[in-house]
Amino acid sequence: MSRTVKAALAGLATGLLLHSVAAAAEIKVGLLLPYSGVYAALGQEIDDGFALALETHGEASGATFELVREDTEVKPPVGLAKAKKLILQDQVTIMAGIVSSGVLGAVRDLVHGAEVPLIVANAGNDQATGERCSPYIVRLSFSNSQVNRPMGPWMYDQGVRKVYTLAPDYAAGRQMIETFAAAFTEAGGKVVGQDYTPFQKTQDFGPYLTKAKSSGADAVFVFYAGGEAISFVKQYDSFGLKETMPLYASGFLTSPLYVNAQGPAAEGVITSLHYIPTLDTPVNKAFVKAFKAKTGREPSEYAVQGYDSARALIEAVKSGATDRKSIAAALPKVKFEGPRGQLSIDPTTNNIVQPIYVYETVQGENGLTQKLLATLPDERDPVNGCKM
Amino acid sequence: MSDTGFWALQTLNALQLSMLLFLLSIGLTVIFGLMHFVNLAHGALYALGAYLAATLAGLGGYWLGFLLAPVGVAAVGVLLYAGLIRHLRQAGPMAQVLVTFGLIFALLDLTRIVWGDLPLSLNTPEVLTGRVALLGVKYPTYRLFVIALGLAVLAGLALVLNRTQVGAMIRAGVDNDAMAACLGIRVERLFFLVFCVGCALAGLAGAVAAPLLSVRPEMGLEILIPTLIVIVIGGLGSLKGAVAGSLVFGFVQTFGAVLAPQLASVLIYGLLAAVLVLRPAGLFPARG
């Protein structure tokens, strides 16, 4: 072989090598979030958290990330169309986001069939990491059961024996309450009454609050989020129930995102959630500081879900994954310390394993804040019919 | 709590909801009765009233918002009238429905752009915080205020409609607008007046509802269906119909939630269907 040919081959090999490194280092992420519609505020929080993690930790992975944003409008058919566009037209390596479980249900089969990894950054439907689980879908947010299950025994230990439950009448509302009720009953407590209010059609909780009041329960346990949460907390207080029956809830009720709109009515409400911004760990403090500097807001659990979703992707890339297949395989193995604590993925369901925090909403120096009452150990969901 | 206390509380709950719906439906129904004009954007004006009240309350306390929000919404009503509605008067109901339906979404996104996606809130004024003992139960003062305000507006409107010349002109217009015009009543100007008052009442309803609920862009859309149900049950165009419709809705909704919670969301629609079958014109239609 002549010298020139050798040189040419060497040059070609180097070129190929360089090329493959450059190609490996470019990861296209499709963000599938509601930028309009009722959950637009949540979409923005997740987006901000996701972008912050890429800015802070992205470089260390050796790869560059390109974001393609698509608006699901919280409508399942729109979400499905946008997911198709991201996969087929934009050829994204990975997708992340999804606030509504309805949208998640709509895109699940597409994602599973196309074998594109999807990091779920909110939607909590138990089935998504249960009987409808997929090796390509990893959830970094929470499951509806996970957040509420540990609250059952904890409340029993606090001396609560009889509860009345309230939640909006849709899948998430029922899952949250049913899991809590089962755990509370198993611990020895009793559910003395239950109401599911018409979802997004109930403006006046008066009739239900009056029922709860006359039920003879020690406490009330609820799940409401967003606008309904604000109306509920204010009306609960205005009926004077807070003094006689303490209000416990799934922590979304008093999310930092809108707790200040509830005002003094939210004081003393005790809830459980997978994140509160007042956690006293160095990782969380650094995150809160960076998030505030970027957006001017206190981060909510939604922001952390976006942040940790991007962190999980970065960790997967660090372990050598670069394309759809390898990222999907690497995601369930990631482990890292996020703002909410030590996180890992349960490989039997692809749902996150995380501690749950019980907190009380209290008056702080600058408005309402979260006082940590208890840290409940790592909560892992049962397999729930998931076959990988 | 005693059994009678429980039912007394629920009755007050029902009354409170009825009065809120009355404030909204009366404007809509008279506008329709007078001019056969369906203003689907009425709910959006309610949301606007709530936003204005929340903003103004931040600047100068609850009462500033309470007083100025209706004025602000009426001003928006004037703009809508001059810019859109006046030109649609001869366009037929389909065009009117489409334009005002589109207006809902335009106003919805406008509130979103101006005030953001996060819900706002408004605290009840100091005087109306707390609870009052009444009929052997303690009831939130603010809710009693809503009931009282609804009754006051009802009395005022009844007085104007039944005892004044303007009221007689409105009644004549609702009864037969062509004949009223022949008799020298300027029906169009009357319509403009009624439209503005209707808008102001929608704004007032928004301002009153704001401390009870959360103020968010979708609230106008959510209240629209109940309002339409109220005026269809009550009968289009009449004060009596709006009162009856509101009471029916408030009581069915509240006691439905208590007695048959599983049926709570369908009960009122079932009733609506029954009314449409048995009395297609509603319980108290403006024209016989």
What's the per-residue H, E or C state across chain B?
CCHHHHHHHHHHHHHHHHHHHHHHHHHHHHHHHHHCCCCCCHHHHHHHHHHHHHHHHHHHCHHHHHHHHHHHHHHHHHHHHHHCHHHHCCCCHHHHHHHHHHHHHHHHHHHHHHHCCCCECCCCCHHHCCEEEECCEEEEHHHHHHHHHHHHHHHHHHHHHHHCHHHHHHHHHHHCHHHHHHCCCCHHHHHHHHHHHHHHHHHHHHHHHCCCCCECCCHHHHHHHHHHHHHHHHCCCCHHHHHHHHHHHHHHHHHHHHHCHHHHHHHHHHHHHHHHHHCCCCCCCCCC
- pLDDT tens string B101-151: 999 999 998 998 999 888 888 888 888 888 888 877 889 999 999 999 999
Nearest neighbour of B213 by CB, restricted to A169, A200, A231: A231
Question: Is residue A145 classed as helix, strand or coil in its secondary structure?
Answer: helix
pLDDT at A8: 54
For A232, the token pair is 């509920």
pLDDT at A36 over 90: no
pLDDT at A250: 95
CA angle in degrees (0–180, nearest 5) for B228-B229-B230:
90
pLDDT at A22 over 50: no
- pLDDT tens string B261-282: 888 778 999 999 999 999 988 8
Write the CA distances from B14 to A174, B107, B231, B274, integer angstroms. Answer: 26, 30, 17, 21
Considering only the C-alpha atoms of chain B, give the largest distance between any 2 of them, rounded to a whole number of Å. Answer: 62
Q: Which residues of A touch B (CB under 8 A)?
A: 36, 38, 40-41, 44, 169, 195-198, 200-201, 203-204, 206-208, 210-211, 213-214, 226-231, 234-235, 238-240, 257-258, 261-264
Q: Do A172 and A125 form a contact (C-beta atoms < 8 A)?
A: yes
CA B232, CA A329: separation in Å to the nearest integer? Answer: 58
pLDDT at A366: 83
CA A338, CA A386: separation in Å to the nearest integer? Answer: 26
Write the CA distances from B182 to B36, B139, B164, B178, B179, integer angstroms. Answer: 18, 52, 20, 6, 5
CA A352, CA A249: separation in Å to the nearest integer? Answer: 21
Q: Which residues contact B4 (CB under 8 A, 6 or more apart)?
A: B136
Residues of B in contact with A198 (CB under 8 A): 264-265
B258 contact A CB<8A: yes
pLDDT band at A53 (very low <50, low <70, confident <90, very high): very high
- pLDDT tens string A181-219: 999 999 999 999 999 998 888 888 999 999 999 999 999
A355-364 mean pLDDT: 95
pLDDT at A3: 57
pLDDT at A7: 53
Q: Do A128 and A120 form a contact (C-beta atoms < 8 A)?
A: yes
- The H or E element that residue A289 is part of is helix A282-295
CA A52, chain centre distance (Å) = 16
Nearest neighbour of A263 by CB, restricted to B118, B123, B254: B123
Nearest neighbour of B213 by CB, restricted to A203, A211, A257: A203
Does A235 sit within 8 Å of B1, measured CB to CB?
no
As a whole number, the mean pLDDT across chain B is: 90
pLDDT at B226: 92
Predicted complex ipTM exceeds 0.95: no
pLDDT at A269: 96
pLDDT band at A44 (very low <50, low <70, confident <90, very high): very high
pLDDT at B260 over 90: no
Of the given ranges (A96-105, A218-227, B214-223), which has the lowest mean pLDDT?
B214-223
CA B18, CA B246: separation in Å to the nearest integer? Answer: 5
Say what percent of chain A tops pLDDT 90.
79
Does A240 sit within 8 Å of B119, measured CB to CB?
no
pLDDT at B70: 96
Nearest neighbour of B222 by CB, restricted to A201, A206, A264: A201
Q: Do A116 and A134 form a contact (C-beta atoms < 8 A)?
A: no
B183-190 mean pLDDT: 87
> Going by DSSP bridges, is the β-strand pair A219-222/A247-250 parallel, antiparallel, or unpaired?
parallel
Angstroms from A41 CA to nearest CA on chain B: 5
pLDDT at A69: 96
